Amino acid sequence: MAQRVEHLVTIFTFTGLCLTGLPQKFYSKGWAQWMVDHLGGIDQTRWIHRAIGLLFVSATVVHLAGALNALLSRRSGFTMVLNKKDFQDCVLQLRYYLGLTDEHPRYDRFDYKQKWEYWSLFLGNIIMGLSGLMLFFPTVFARVLPGQIIPAAKVAHSNEGLMAFFVIAVWHIYNAHLQPDVFPFDGSIFTGRISRERMLHEHPLELARIEGRAPDTHDGHRGHDAERRVV
């Protein structure tokens, strides 16, 4: 349940930041000026962006604290860390797409694409959060850091935000909702349920472990099965 709430908060904050941040980046465009006007003007748009940004930073901190607590209490292992099998799966997947093999990778709870997306977005969150705080409190940071850090933070914040938008709009939306196996929408993140057929196709190693048909083949999956109900 906690993961589903966290996902909803992420959807809200990311959408809000895009709606209030992109018009500021492309302020000379007609659509951007229209959005800013409908948000109450540039000053109000900036304050809305900052308020949502603080919520965004708080959610990232809460996620990090929860992840560290789960690791330290041994309720979870390093399930999101890329390992040798992920690289092997990536190569095998490419060979499968190119018609060089009929063998398809057998994934555990998370495949290499999900891990790559997780870490890219998590690191992006840190860049966006730190640069955003620097732009929100420039005089505070300029007292302890070189003054050049403020314009550098502006460039990093603007470009990282645009890249994050494209990653979510293209990569995540396609893999989560538009790919043939789940089209037109995958509601598992909101319901916590996934069919056995999908598990067998997408996460056969995890399904085998849940059903007790095979030993654990991946380090540290304790405590996760309750979050995913196979139906």
Domain ranges of the chain: 1-75
In contact, 174 and 212? CB cutoff 8 Å: no
Helix (H, G, I), strand (E, B) or coil at 141: helix
pLDDT at position 4: 85
The span from the CA of 202 to the CA of 199, in Å, is 5
Candidate from 23-27, 40-44, 180-184, 221-225 with smallest mean pLDDT: 221-225
**pTM, rounded to two decimals:** 0.82
Find, among 158, 163, 118, the residue nearest to 7 by Cα.
118
| CA-based nearest residue to 135, from 127, 37, 162, 59 | 127
User: Does the pLDDT at position 28 exceed 70?
Assistant: yes
pLDDT at residue 78, as a whole number: 79
pLDDT value of residue 215: 47
Q: How far is residue 116 from each of residues 6, 122, 179, 189, measured CA to CA in Å?
A: 19, 10, 18, 18
Look over the chain and give the mean of its residue pLDDT values, rounded to a whole number.
Answer: 87
